[in-house]
Structure 1
Amino acid sequence: MGIEDKAENKAQDASGTAKEKVGQAVGNDDLKNEGKADQVSAAFKDGAEKVKDAARNIGDKFTK
């Protein structure tokens, strides 16, 4: 996983957490749900990057 991707995913997760908490504090369900969606999206991207890294590592073992 590239450093940029990792940082982008962390930023999206943090932003989602903030949106969720603000939405909850002000009673805005749309903002709260948008924050949750951002967090899920960041987690999905992070998982996909980890799968790509694992596949790359397996490929490297076969080529060496």
Structure 2
Amino acid sequence: MDKNRTEGTKHEVKGAVKEAVGKVTGNKTKEVAGNVEKNAGKAQKEVGKAADAARDAAKK
């Protein structure tokens, strides 16, 4: 499994937590920062999936 998949998932979860804390506390800055980190984590996870797919295709 590509490292980007695990790191992306970590950032996605961390961003979701930040976003939730921002919503609960009314801190728009933290909420937006969490949303950005969550979406960046999703993108990084997709890069990892693509790398895994490319590696699997190269093995065949």
- Specify if TM > 0.5: yes
Q: TM-score range by the shorter chain?
A: 0.7 to 0.9
Say which structure, 1 or 2, has more relative contact order (CA 8 Å, 6+ apart). Answer: 2
Q: For structure 2, which runs of at least 5 residues remain unmatched after alignment?
A: none
Q: In terms of Rg, which structure is larger?
A: 1
Percent of matched pairs sharing the same residue: 27
**Mapped contact 2:6–2:45 kept (Cα < 8 A):** no
- Do structure 1's residue 22 and structure 2's residue 21 form an aligned pair? yes
Q: For structure 1, which runs of at least 5 residues remain unmatched after alignment?
A: none
Taking only aligned residues, the RMSD between alpha carbons, in angstroms, comes to: 1.4
Q: Structure 1 residues 47, 6: closer, same or farther in 2, change over 3 A?
A: closer
Residue 33 (structure 1) aligns with: 32
